[in-house]
Structure 1
Amino acid sequence: MLMKLLDELMGRMRFRVQENQRAIVFQNGKLLSIAGPGEHVLPNWRKSLEVVPYDIITGAVFKSPYEKPLFDKLPDVAAKHLSVFRTGRTEVAVIERDGRPFDVLPPDSKLTVWADAGPWSATHIDISTDLRIDPDLLRRLVLAGKMNIITGATVAEGHAGLLFIDGVYVETLEPGVYGFWKAGRTATVKQIDLKRQSVDVTGQEVLTKDRVTIRINLAAEYRVTDPVLAVSAVKDFSDSLYRALQFAFRKTLGALSLDQILEKKVTIDEEAAGKVKADMAAIGVEVLDIALKDVVLPGEMREILNQVVAAEKQAEANVIRRREETNATRSLLNTAKVMAENPVMLRLKELEALEAIAGRVERLTIHNGTGGLMHDIVKLRDE
């Protein structure tokens, strides 16, 4: 308290600056100096002194309206306490603080920091010819969360990444993680799946040659062999394949009758597949397999066909029945001829018949003519 009263009597100001602070000192509104850590005593007649403190640890970046006046009026003092980083028109700079990424400056930028908040370093990168970021640097920036001017892209396994700069194709990227500088130009990566894929065309209506409307379901398997051509030749190559399948099968099946389509269901794919494969090969897509999965008939046509099939099967059954009856009659005729020519065979048949009958009844009385089998048996018994 006594010291404060003494300072006021002597017209001076006493203030303390901590290690984590710096202070800009003004006298009568004019820049006087930048005060470092410690206790300071300065003349303060008529309370002309003003002190503005700054925390250089939490506020390492110097953002102040006094920046330009400091460098203009007190260049040596400003150079001692402040570090300035700048970038050119075609470069970016990675600013590091104590060996760790602190900030990334885009082209034509400036960053002013407190020198004692460092140590500071800057890595300048020319982006005039290549926007790609070194993988090691990219990992460091990602871990530090400094992605403000970075576009990231990941190309998955089994895919090709097409790199476009401002809409112009540049190169094809292998699977991996990539980063590109956002610095006046736009980098985009379009992923193209190179694995085997399938496309289904369901419920496609076709009018046959005999004016029957049917619905067909198609399936095709394909893979991209030239991703650059597949992307540049058409807007959407999968949609192009879908439409090619529609048109090819509609044209092919429309020239056939319903009966021909049903008869050639297994082989009809080959007639349409050739043109589809040739058209798609021209845009970098290899069609591996095409299948006509289903042919769906209208309800009334399905009933008619069921009746036709039932009639055909009934006719086939009648033919088989007649053939078997004929075979049975022919067999009986042959048997009768054998028995007529061989009396012993006839007698054996009679014995078999008697054996079958005797096995089913308790008592059997037989009346037979003198020329019959039983007459012979009696004669044998008498003897």
Structure 2
Amino acid sequence: MTELLLIALALAILVAAAGAWSQRQHVTIYPGNTGLLYRDGRFVRELPPGRYGWWNMGTRSRVLTVPTLPLPVTVPEMSVLSRDQFAFRLVLVPVVAVQDARLFAESQPIAAPPAHLPELPLSAAHPALRPLLAAAALEETGRHMLADLIAEPQPLVEAIAARLADALPGAAIPQVLLTAINLPPETRKMFTDVARAKVEAQAALERARGEQAALRVLANAARLVTDNPALANLRLLQAIEATKGATTIVLGDGALKAAARPD
């Protein structure tokens, strides 16, 4: 009888230990992140990088992992309108740096992780980021001409970053990256035609300058020959010397005529 009691007691202890062990949870916070420990929905403390464990005995503990390194956040492209009424799309990537992990986390709705997962990773993409970015981009783009934006987009990007610098609770946006300017096909064709026309005009201008320079050289040579007839004979001798093969030289009526005919 005593042995049965001891066996029953041992089984009870094992069951209690197994139940208690099943209530133990642990998480690991890696560098570049901050953990926020909540117990029964109430904030307890911040957790720096490291490994943590606890017993859920009558309580429910959860950890939010918030990234604290500056991270670029991908946002869908947005439609904007320039000052000269051209519609196009911008692809902007804001860089979010979380400075107050608790304020950043509690300023947005948070879904609790499943019961078997004690940790919930939180993204740097705050729900308010996209509408704030879209509003700033639309307003700032309306201050610029499309041609100026294509030639120098940096002032627009800096103006958007300045508007969003402190827009998110607990986080800063030190930089906004412009990764693409997507023009409609008809607008793109128009700008391509303008650029091609400029290049063609520049080429025509260079050809005209070359022709003018050649005419000036010929006019100077004609003046020299008129003022110094002996130069024509010297030029004739140079031409004969440079000619290969049999050559026939025809002189007449005081004019210098030369025709080269290879045998």
TM-score interval, normalised by the smaller of the two chains? 0.7 to 0.9
Mapped pair 1:276 → 2:150: no
CA distance in structure 1 between the partners assigned to 2:255 and 2:187 by the alignment: 67
2:93 counterpart letter in structure 1: A
Mapped pair 1:215 → 2:93: no
Residue from 194, 200, 210 that aligns with 1:308 = 194
Any conservation in 2 of the 1:164–1:188 contact (CA below 8 Å)?
A: yes
Any conservation in 1 of the 2:83–2:144 contact (CA below 8 Å)?
A: yes
Quote the residue 1:267 is aligned against.
Answer: 155
User: Could you tell me the TM-score, scaled by structure 2's length?
Assistant: 0.78
1:331 counterpart letter in structure 2: V
2:166 counterpart letter in structure 1: A
CA distance in structure 2 between the partners assigned to 1:179 and 1:372 by the alignment: 110
Quote the residue 1:70 is aligned against.
Answer: none
CA distance in structure 1 between the partners assigned to 2:94 and 2:139 by the alignment: 17
CA distance in structure 2 between the partners assigned to 1:260 and 1:253 by the alignment: 11
Quote the residue 2:216 is aligned against.
Answer: 330
CA distance in structure 2 between the partners assigned to 1:294 and 1:341 by the alignment: 66
Listed as ranges, the gaps of 5+ residues in structure 2 are 110-122, 258-263
Per the TM alignment, residue 199 of structure 1 is displaced from its structure 2 partner at its CA by 1.3
Per the TM alignment, residue 190 of structure 1 is displaced from its structure 2 partner at its CA by 0.5
| Aligned positions, number | 243
Q: Decide whether aligned partners of structure 1 residues 246 and 337 sit closer, same or farther in structure 2, where only a CA change above 3 A counts.
A: same
Any conservation in 2 of the 1:163–1:170 contact (CA below 8 Å)?
A: yes
Q: Decide whether aligned partners of structure 1 residues 55 and 350 sit closer, same or farther in structure 2, where only a CA change above 3 A counts.
A: farther
Mapped pair 1:184 → 2:77: no
Residue from 217, 232, 235 that aligns with 1:349 = 235
CA distance in structure 1 between the partners assigned to 2:86 and 2:151 by the alignment: 15
CA distance in structure 2 between the partners assigned to 1:331 and 1:104 by the alignment: 109
The percentage of aligned residue pairs carrying the same residue is 28
1:44-78, Cα deviation, whole Å (9 max, x unpaired)? xxxxxxxxxx3845x44466xxxxxxxxxxxxxxx
Mapped pair 1:224 → 2:98: yes
Any conservation in 2 of the 1:104–1:149 contact (CA below 8 Å)?
A: no
1:261 counterpart letter in structure 2: L
CA distance in structure 1 between the partners assigned to 2:67 and 2:42 by the alignment: 20
Quote the residue 2:21 is aligned against.
Answer: 147
Q: Decide whether aligned partners of structure 1 residues 370 and 207 sit closer, same or farther in structure 2, where only a CA change above 3 A counts.
A: closer
Structure with the larger RCO, 1 or 2 (CA within 8 Å, 6+ apart): 2
Per the TM alignment, residue 156 of structure 1 is displaced from its structure 2 partner at its CA by 1.9
CA distance in structure 2 between the partners assigned to 1:329 and 1:55 by the alignment: 123
2:167 counterpart letter in structure 1: D
CA distance in structure 1 between the partners assigned to 2:252 and 2:96 by the alignment: 88
Mapped pair 1:167 → 2:55: no
User: Could you tell me the TM-score, scaled by structure 1's length?
Assistant: 0.56
Any conservation in 1 of the 2:67–2:124 contact (CA below 8 Å)?
A: no
Quote the residue 1:39 is aligned against.
Answer: none
Per the TM alignment, residue 326 of structure 1 is displaced from its structure 2 partner at its CA by 1.2
Quote the residue 2:117 is aligned against.
Answer: none
| Bigger radius of gyration among the two | 1
Per the TM alignment, residue 237 of structure 1 is displaced from its structure 2 partner at its CA by 5.7
Residue from 204, 207, 211 that aligns with 1:321 = 207
Q: Decide whether aligned partners of structure 1 residues 345 and 290 sit closer, same or farther in structure 2, where only a CA change above 3 A counts.
A: farther
CA distance in structure 2 between the partners assigned to 1:191 and 1:255 by the alignment: 40
3-state SS of paired residue (1:183): coil
Residue from 258, 261, 270 that aligns with 2:146 = 258
Runs of 4 or more, structure 1, over 6 Å off, are 370-374
1:174 counterpart letter in structure 2: P
Per the TM alignment, residue 243 of structure 1 is displaced from its structure 2 partner at its CA by 3.0
Listed as ranges, the gaps of 5+ residues in structure 1 are 1-22, 24-33, 37-53, 64-94, 96-101, 106-143, 375-383
